[in-house]
Chains A and B, each alone.
Chain A
Amino acid sequence: LAKTTQPISMDSYEGQEVNITCSHNNIATNDYITWYQQFPSQGPRFIIQGYKTKVTNEVASLFIPADRKSSTLSLPRVSLSDTAVYYCLVAPPGFGNEKLTFGTGTRLTIIP
């Protein structure tokens, strides 16, 4: 599985747009990029997944450049409730998804 690198922590003020970048230089052709969110005392929760270009859902946007060696999770107009740890994972679908490996994640703190 491709190794990922993310910032250990980030702070942001309420109402700001937050961008968390993940590096995955060894991403394989059939790998997808998936982001999870984990609140204190809860298990991780799937947020968004993409393969290339841009994906958007009701929670976030995911930007993936053409070389796919990095990806950026964008959270629009964050609120205090977005304080959580965010994990970037890279793995192929199907068989690869069966053994997702979580790194240390990015601890995002939203400041009032």
Chain B
Amino acid sequence: DAGVIQSPRHEVTEMGQEVTLRCKPISGHDYLFWYRQTMMRGLELLIYFNNNVPIDDSGMPEDRFSAKMPNASFSTLKIQPSEPRDSAVYFCASSPSGDSNYGYTFGSGTRLTVV
């Protein structure tokens, strides 16, 4: 298995532009998570899905952020409009349902810079 795949690896955009981050979870994993990591706040959970359904989006910072999971193999995190304070590394992770032995598998992240 190729693991959790995120794209792009790096994204530089101007303030006010729309940004879309993409994630392909591991096949067969029922849970998908979006995290954001910054030096100041560490690793924060933004939203997670179970069987493609958003379960908890309480970590989404504001209405400019939205996430979708149209099918079991694809999810997007969109920021519109983007702001410099959104600059961070965004991680996607997936987990098999009810399996506590192996935890989460994270992707390599997308480093977003908003100028």
Residues of A within 8 A of B (CB): 32, 34, 36, 41-46, 49, 87, 93-94, 97-105
Residues of B within 8 A of A (CB): 4, 31, 35, 42-43, 45, 48, 50, 55-56, 91, 93, 95, 98, 100-109, 111
Q: Contacts of A94 on B, CB cut-off 8 Å?
A: 98, 100
Task: Check B109–A43 contact: CB distance below 8 A.
Answer: yes
Task: Check B48–A98 contact: CB distance below 8 A.
Answer: yes
Q: Contacts of A101 on B, CB cut-off 8 Å?
A: 45
Q: Contacts of B106 on A, CB cut-off 8 Å?
A: 42-45
Chain B proximity of A37: nearest CB distance (Å) = 11
Q: Please give me the 9 A-B residue pairs with the lowest Cβ-Cβ distance, nearest first.
A: A43-B106, A93-B100, A102-B43, A46-B103, A43-B91, A104-B42, A94-B98, A97-B100, A44-B106
Q: Contacts of B43 on A, CB cut-off 8 Å?
A: 44, 87, 102
Task: Check A34–B103 contact: CB distance below 8 A.
Answer: yes
